[in-house]
Structures are given as C-alpha cells and as structure tokens.
Amino acid sequence: MNFLQQPPRFLFFTGKGGVGKTSIACAAAVQLADAGKQVLLVSTDPASNVGQVFGLAIGNRIVAVPAVPNLSAMEIDPQAAAQAYRDRIVGPVRGVLPDNVVKGIEEQLSGACTTEIAAFDEFTGLLADDAATRGFDHVLFDTAPTGHTIRLLSLPGAWSGFLEAGQGDASCLGPLAGLDKQRAQYKAAVEALQDGARTRLVLVARGQGATLREAARTHEELAAIGLTRQHLVINGLLPESEAAHDPLAAAVVRRELAALAHLPPALAALPTDHIALKAFNLVGLDALRALLQPEARGATPDAGEPHIALPDAPTLSALVDEIAAQGHGLVMLMGKGGVGKTTLAAAVAVELATRGLPVHLTTSDPAAHLAETLAGELEHLEVSRIDPHAATEAYRAHVMATKGAALDGAGRVLLAEDLRSPCTEEIAVFQAFSRAIREAGRKFVVMDTAPTGHTLLLLDATGAYHRDVARQMAAGSHFTTPMMQLQDPARTKVLIVTLAETTPVLEAAQLQDDLRRAGIEPWAWVVNNSVAAAPVASPLLRRRAEGELKEVEAIRTRHAKRWALVPLLQDEPVGVARLRALAGAQATEAAEPAR
C-alpha cells in the first residue's frame, strides 16, 4: 500500500461516514506493529468498534493490545469529551451571568461543532505533548478532524473578547469562547498537522462519483490550510470477477470503473491505493491482516447460498403518497455527504409532479447535477440551484455593511475573520433557502442538501432573524419565520437519508438528535442503495446483504417513525422513468413524459 510506504510519525485517516476509515486504520496499525514498530491507534469515532475489532475493552485511556505485540490503542468518546468541554466553559458563569445568557451559551454548545472541537481538544495533547506519545514510533488517528475544525482553531486569538462584547455574528465561534488557555496547545497541534515530515493524511473514499467529489472537496479544504501531504485510498471496490454472477454486480463494476476513470482533478495527482470489497466482517486479526492484501483468502463465499430474504419494506413512493395528500409543503432531504440526497430529492420531486402537483426542486450542492439527473423537463416541475459561493459573498457583504458599519477598524477586521468561519456558508445558504421556503404555502418545495442540524441550532440560539421579528411585531400579531416553519410538522417534512451501514446510521441518528435540539422532528428515514432490497446472485453481494439486515432493523425499530428502503439499481437513476423505479413506483403509471 502506497500510504504505508515510509510512513511519518502521525497518520490521519479521514473521510465520510461508512467508507471504512476504522477498518483501514486498524489494519494499518496491525501491519506497522507486525513490522516491529511501536504503534498507538487513537479513535475519535463516536461509533468506534476498535475494541470490538481487537476483542477487548479500550475506552479513554491507552491500553496495550495483547494479541498484537507493539500495538496500543485508545478510544476518545466525543460525547463525553463534549460534555466535559461544556462543563468547563459553562460552569464558571453559572450564577454570575443571567440565566437566559447561560441558556444561550448552553444552546450554542449543544451542536455538532462542539462535539467536533471537543474531540479535537482531547487529542491535540497527543500531537503537542511529547510525554504522552514519546514511546511510540507511529500514532494513527481514526476519524481525523475536518478542515472545518482546524480552520476554526486557527482563527486569531482576539475572537474571544470580540464575541463576549456581542460584536460577532452567528457562526461556529460560539463553542470556542473562553478557550484562550488552550491556544498554545492548539497552535502546536496545527503546526504538527501542517508538517509533511511528521504527518500524512489518508483520504478514504468509495468508488462512487458522489463520494469521490466529497473527498475532492475535503482534499482542497485541508490543502488550503496547509495539510498538503495526502494519500487517497479508494475502498470497497467490487472485484471484477463478481460481474459474471448477475447483472447487478456487473453494473456496479462498470460504474466503479467509470468513476475511477474520471477522478476529480484534485484527486488524480494524489498517490492512490485500491482496496477490494470484502464479503466478511472486518473483526479479528485474520480479517484485518487480509484487508490490505491484494487477494485475501476467503474473500468470496461459496456459491449456492440461499437468497437473502428481506421482509417487505415501504417504498419511497409510499412515503410520497402521504406527503402528496397535503397538496403543498416543504420537503427537506438531509444527511451526510455521499448518501444520495440529490438523487432522492429528484425522485421525490418527480413523484409529486407526476401526480399533477406543482413542485419546486432546489439544491445548494455544488456537485449536484439535477439537470443531468432529470434528463429533461417534466410538467409541474421547476428546478433551481443556489450558488453557495455567491450566497456567502452576499451574506458577508450584508453583515459588514450593517453590523460592521458601527465597528472601528480592528473590530471590522475581526468581524471579517469571523465571517470566514466555515459555518458562514451554511448560514448564508439557509437564508437563500428561506426565500424558497415561502413558496411552500402554495406548492411543494423539495430541498436537497439542507442545512445541518447544528446550523439550524445556531440560528435558533443566536436568534438573529427569528427574535428580531418577534420583537418587532405588535402583541397579538401573527407571524411566521423560516425557523418556525421548519419546526411545524404540518408545514415541513424532513427526510433523513442514510445507507444501511453502521457509521452512516449512527451519523444519521446524531443528525436527528441535532434537529430535535433545534425543535425540528424528522418525519421519516430513507435507506438508500440497499443491496438487501435488490435481487442478487453474486456470492459477495449476498453476504453484504446479510450485513445490512441488522442496520435496517435498527432503523425500523429504534430510530424512525416512518421509513423507506431504496434498492441498489443496475442502471444509474437518470431520467424520469428510472427515478420513479428508484422510488418503487411503476414508471408507466400516471407518468408525464419527459421532453
């Protein structure tokens, strides 16, 4: 593997949920330890199964792995870290500041930003404190910090007092307030990350266009802040030999080969490794040692196994039947990158439009190609795209012209830096979305790539728009802000999109928690690209389908009030007929022809 050639001291494995970061990090740690190196494996994944992989309890401490000489491990619990982080910040101000101010601080510290920064706070010591890691030749991190977090920690040190004076705008900076004591540690950690001689970033992706585009954006975001020593690992590629077993396997192989042939330019120049999809669970040393080998023994189960039996599951079309009954409203599809939100948003919009209902489909995803997905026009369907860059620049200009007008020169510099926070784009896009939200009173508005729950929480907690409206309205007046509409289940239906894999399901559950803290109750979950819902003869895909059943059952019984299962299809879901097939509807029934 290229990414393990002449490895530096620190290796970070980063990528979207479900791409296999933990398995690859564990396998790499074992390989280095087997070579005689002293290795520490650190996981910050909230769904960490490192302990399960090695068959021992690990937790938030460094412990030796008895089965692998030279290997130690620790698991940082992001939720526990976030709680300790909140207590450290909020504790000193309880009883000192007014209760409503303390409550506002707690709200700002309850989102995903805080969890991300708290986890970073935990392991910066491992990067900056030689005493903690002095005995190790290599330290491997599973689930590295995003460029988003590192960017925040690189902001000027004067922001703390700036925010306390009430001069800042709604952004991710709230969770950082009061952390000046950590500045030296953060500075040392960021310097270590930016030092190519000490640190290598391993971008993990799948052989899918959407996932590779996400990896390209991550690459560019990290490179822009100085983390340029990067390798690419494309994981889970279906072996070409499986194509002979059934049409679905053959179609998957063709799609993956096409994705590899058209890598985003940002990734094409990176050193790259390919790892084949395995049928077995990556638990135990034998499985980990086989993962990074070109041809792992036992990777394909014997042919002739019984077909996977999946209980009848509701289709996306069945969910649309319920949505359509209201005649109009807002439908938002949310989820992590690479789960297929754009395609499913198009499928929902097409299903509504074929029922003769007016629909406005809109997206803010810079990689979304709705025109190509629809492959034509459809009666009753309007399509638009919000340009995140243009929306962000307009938002920054507005804030500088309003709040910035009353500041001195130093204050304007700090406000401009605040507005370069990664959350600014999310807030700007939300405001652009707000204009489309108003249409939902007379038609269906379907939104792809909706703002994250933590952004909605920040908007609600800081109250910029919502509270200003409330204050300005006379007593007894009736008014509706965009946030109020999102919180009203009669007006808005949020569909959480995920895959039937452990990490994507956990991340979807965390998104649901974030939304609930913002007062938004998700309406349904949609499981996309399910192998278990598709007829498969490929031995490897049958085994994969078996592995999905546990996650589908967890969604059905624990997480979702409503749910739908969307099968993995042979053909790319492009065009009205295929989008309707993806939704589980008969494309010939009541379908308007594309033209």
Mean pLDDT by runs of 10 across the 595 residues of the chain is: 93 84 92 96 74 78 91 84 80 81 72 70 75 88 68 52 50 53 72 88 90 87 86 95 91 94 93 90 78 62 54 88 95 85 91 94 67 71 86 88 84 77 73 82 86 60 48 53 82 94 85 86 95 88 89 94 92 83 60 35
Catalytic, out of 16, 17, 22, 492: 22
pLDDT of residue 474: 52
pLDDT of residue 170: 47
Helix, strand, coil share of the chain (percent; to 5): 50, 15, 35
Catalytic, out of 15, 17, 18, 236: 18
Catalytic, out of 14, 16, 17, 20: 20
Distance between CA 540 and CA 447 in Å, rounded? 36
Q: What string of DSSP letters covers 80-128?
A: HHHHHHHHHHHGGGTTTS-HHHHHHHHHHTTSHHHHHHHHHHHHHHHHH
Distance between CA 341 and CA 148 in Å, rounded? 21
Establish whether 23 is a catalytic residue: yes
Q: Which two tokens stand for residue 350?
A: 């097409």
User: Rounded to the nearest 5 degrees, what angle is found at the Cα of 371, between the Cα atoms of 367 and 376?
Assistant: 165
**What is the domain partition of the chain in residue ranges?**
2-236+272-291, 316-389+441-583
pLDDT of residue 482: 73
pTM of the full structure: 0.78
| 2-236+272-291 and 316-389+441-583 in the same fold | yes
Establish whether 503 is a catalytic residue: yes
Three-state SS at 330: strand
Distance between CA 450 and CA 332 in Å, rounded? 6
Q: Which residues contact 245 (CB under 8 A, 6 or more apart)?
A: 303, 537, 538, 539, 541
For β-strands 63-64 and 71-75, DSSP reports them as antiparallel
Residue positions counted in the chain: 595
pLDDT of residue 306: 47
For β-strands 272-276 and 230-237, DSSP reports them as parallel
Catalytic, out of 17, 45, 218, 315: 45
Catalytic, out of 14, 23, 342, 462: 23
Catalytic, out of 16, 21, 403, 493: 21
Distance between CA 339 and CA 373 in Å, rounded? 15
Establish whether 161 is a catalytic residue: no
The answer to whether residues 162 and 411 touch, using CB atoms and an 8 Å cutoff, is yes
pLDDT of residue 167: 52
Is 3.40.50.300 the CATH classification of the domain at 316-389+441-583?
Answer: yes
Establish whether 45 is a catalytic residue: yes
Establish whether 20 is a catalytic residue: yes
User: Rounded to the nearest 5 degrees, what angle is found at the Cα of 468, between the Cα atoms of 106 and 435?
Assistant: 100
Q: Please state, as a whole number, how many other Cβ atoms lie within 10 Å of the Cβ of residue 158.
A: 14
Establish whether 21 is a catalytic residue: yes
Q: Please state, as a whole number, how many other Cβ atoms lie within 10 Å of the Cβ of residue 228.
A: 12
Distance between CA 48 and CA 37 in Å, rounded? 23
Three-state SS at 427: helix
Q: Which two tokens stand for residue 125?
A: 């010591």
Distance between CA 362 and CA 351 in Å, rounded? 15
The answer to whether residues 544 and 529 touch, using CB atoms and an 8 Å cutoff, is no
DSSP state, 40?
A: E
Establish whether 218 is a catalytic residue: no
H helices of 109-264, where? 112-128, 130-133, 147-153, 159-164, 183-194, 209-224, 247-261
Q: Which residues contact 459 (CB under 8 A, 6 or more apart)?
A: 170, 427, 430, 465, 466, 483
Name the CATH topology of 2-236+272-291.
Answer: Rossmann fold (3.40.50)
Per-position b or e across 508-527, b if 16+ CB within 10 A of its CB: bbbbbebbebbebebbbbbb
For β-strands 381-385 and 492-499, DSSP reports them as unpaired
